[in-house]
Amino acid sequence: MEKSSASKKEISSREVVMADHDRLKTEIAGLSISNPVILASGVMGTTPGGLSRVASAGAGGVTSKSLGLDPRSGHPSPNVVEVAGGYLNAMGLPNPGVEEYVQELRGNDIEATLFGSVYGQSPEEFRRAAKLLAPEVDGIELNLSCPHAEKLGSAIGTDPRLVENIVHSIAREIDKPLFAKLTPNVADIRKIGKAAEAGGADGIVAINTLKGMAIDVTTMRPILGNKSGGLSGPAIHPVAVKSVYDLYERLSIPVIGAGGVETGEDLIELILAGASAVQIGTAVATKGMSVFKELNSFLFDYLNSRELSLSDLVGKAHEC
Ligand code: SIN
C-alpha cells in the first residue's frame, strides 16, 4: 500500500519535471526546439565536436561556424581584441569547407536542433554550399552579414536585391527551414528583412556584429591583423533590441534575436522585443558554457512566477 502511494508521488513529480521542460519548448519555422537559447555561429562551432559539447551544456539549438565551398584560413592575427563593452573580432571566416564539415558531422550525435551556417560570394556559391549542408542539419542560416570579409557577408547583405536573389535561389532547392542572418550595418534593417522574406526566408536572425576598429596608441597602428573587425558583446545589445523590435513589427516570419546577451534580463528583453529564440555568442567565451543553463533557468522562473508561456512573451513590448 505504502509502496504504491510512494510511486504515485514519484510519477507526479516526474510529470512536474516534464511540464517544466515543456514551458521552455518553442517552435520556429516548423522546427521544434527544446529551449529558446541557441549557440550563435562563430563560437565553439568550428568542429561538430564543439557543437556536441554545447548541446550537452543545455543549448536548445547550436549553429555551426559559417562554411563556404572551399577551406579558408581566415585573416592574419591578432584576430580578437577586448574593447569597452565587448570584443572586436576579425576571424575572416576560417573553416574547413562545407564538404569536410559534412563528413565530420556524420560521426557526431548532437542533441540539440542543428543550424548549419553558410556564406558565399554569389547566389550560386551560397546555393551550392546550402545544398551540400542541408541534408545533415535541421535548418540553414545564411551569413549575409560578416562585416569584415571582402566580397562576402555584409558586402552582400546590405543590398536588398542581392539578399532577395540569394534567399530565393536557395529556398526553392532545399527542404529545410532557411534563416537569413542580417547585418546591423545598414540604414534600415527592415528593408533587408523584407527582402529576405520576399525571397522565401522562413526566419531572420538579427543581428551580426557592428563594424569597428581599435588602434594601439603606442605603435600607432590598428590592432587587428585585418585592421577592422566586428564588435560583439554587451555594447551592441541595445542595437539588437531595436533591430529585433523593428523587424518583428514589419515581418510575418519569426525572428531569432542575437547581440550582447549575457544575463537573463538581456534574454527576456530580446524576447519582449519580438525574438522567438535568442542566440548566444560572446557570453559563451566570457561566462563559459554554464551560461545556457543559467539563462534557461532565469527564463523558466520568470515565466513561472508570472504564469506565462514563452509564446505570451514574444513581442509583448509591442502591446503598449
Ligand atoms: C568571422 O569568421 O570573421 C566572423 C563571422 C561573422 O562575423 O559573421
Domain ranges in the chain are 8-319
Report pTM. Answer: 0.93
Strand 86-89 to 221-222 pairing? unpaired
Domain 8-319 has CATH 3.20.20.70: yes
CA atoms within 13 A on the CB side of 122: 2
120's CB contacts (< 8 A; 6+ apart) are 68, 69, 126, 127, 128, 129, 152, 166
Distance between CA atoms of residues 131 and 135, nearest Å? 8
Nearest residue to 101 via CA among 134, 149, 60, 58? 134
Ligand 1, atom 8, residue with closest C-alpha:
146
Which pLDDT score, from 0 to 100, does residue 22 have? 84
320 is catalytic: no
- Give distance in angstroms: CA of 25 to centre of ligand 1: 29
- Which residue among 143, 146, 232, 279 has the greatest number of ligand 1 atoms within 8 angstroms of its CB, and so is best to mutate? 146
Q: Is the CB of 157 under 6 A from ligand 1?
A: no
- Give distance in angstroms: CA of 92 to centre of ligand 1: 6
pLDDT, one tens digit per residue, over 149-159 is 877 877 789 99
- pLDDT of 238 > 50? The answer is yes
Q: Ligand 1: which atom is nearest the Cα of residue 230?
A: 7
Q: How far is CA 286 from CA 8, 86, 252, 294, in A?
A: 44, 9, 34, 14
Amino acid (1-letter code) at residue 107: G
- pLDDT of 21 > 70? The answer is no
Distance between CA atoms of residues 203 and 293, nearest Å? 25
Q: Is the CB of 92 under 6 A from ligand 1?
A: yes
Mean residue pLDDT of the chain comes to 93
- Give the residue with greater pLDDT, 152 vs 49: 49
Nearest residue to 182 via CA among 148, 216, 156, 151? 156
Ligand 1, atom 6, residue with closest C-alpha:
146
Q: What's the pLDDT band for 61 if we cut at 50, 70, 90? A: very high
Catalytic entry in 62, 91, 140, 146? 146
- pLDDT of 108 > 60? The answer is yes
Which pLDDT score, from 0 to 100, does residue 300 have? 97
Q: Ligand 1: which atom is nearest the Cα of residue 91?
A: 3
The β-bridge partners of 143 are 181
- Give distance in angstroms: CA of 151 to centre of ligand 1: 13
